[in-house]
Amino acid sequence: MKFAVLVFPGSNCDIDMYHAIKDELGEEVEYVWHDATDLSEFDGILVPGGFSYGDYLRCGAMANQSNVMVEVKKAAAEGKPVLGVCNGFQILTEAGLLPGALLRNVNLKFMCRTVQLKVENNNTLFTNQYEQGEIINIPIAHGEGNYFCDEETLANLKANNQIVFTYSGENPNGSLEDIAGIINEQGNVLGMMPHPERAANEILGSSDGLALFKSIVKQWREQHV
């Protein structure tokens, strides 16, 4: 399986994502600059964290205007897996690929530490290697990770089982309903604030994030091999 790791001016988790795929997962991966106009050669799209365009205007707003986002939307429409982590999650909401928005953390501070997540839905292409209800340890590093949506959107998320991860125990940023990650209705676009690529090897403090990437590859191989 071949992955694209998008790179925007200000991305700073692209290297983490690249090495999680290449060194821990053992799959093919390439960096793709934000002005790219063709992602057709890739089987999966990874939108990493960081501070794209310095987080000016709103987090992810300027990145959404990049050429490559036209191709990301096309890939999503084709059913390819698209994963947005942290700033990547913010970009996907700005692009309309996921509902809701990410607001300032309730304590108005940047937070960087490991938190516990609960797997709320393991019947997705991103979570099929987890157990339902499993508690995993994944790092966060964000100042605007407070997920918010209106009541109608929240009801739809619940009805369609689109809430994939929630914070377990501590809710570090004030997210509505403890939401840490959601998928689109089609199930092929996931946005999450915690960083699974930073939990891909025990030397990093946890390997709990690696199963997310293994899940993507497992489902892709079942469909294409």
Q: pTM above 0.85?
A: yes
User: What are the pLDDT digits (tens) for 15-42?
Assistant: 999 999 999 999 999 999 999 999 999 9
Task: Count Cβ atoms below 10 Å from residue 77 Cβ, excluding itself.
Answer: 12
**Per the structure, how many domains does the chain have?**
1
Structure confidence at residue 57 (pLDDT) = 81
CA–CA separation, 101 and 92 (whole Å): 9
CA–CA separation, 67 and 69 (whole Å): 6
Structure confidence at residue 116 (pLDDT) = 98
Q: Residue 212: which CATH number? A: 3.40.50.880
Active site positions, annotated: 86, 195, 197
Phi, psi at residue 183, to the nearest 5°? -115, 165
Stretches where the chain sits below pLDDT 70 are: none
Give the residue from 195, 190, 197 showing the smallest Cα distance to 163: 190
CA–CA separation, 140 and 124 (whole Å): 22
Structure confidence at residue 41 (pLDDT) = 97
**134: containing domain:** 2-224
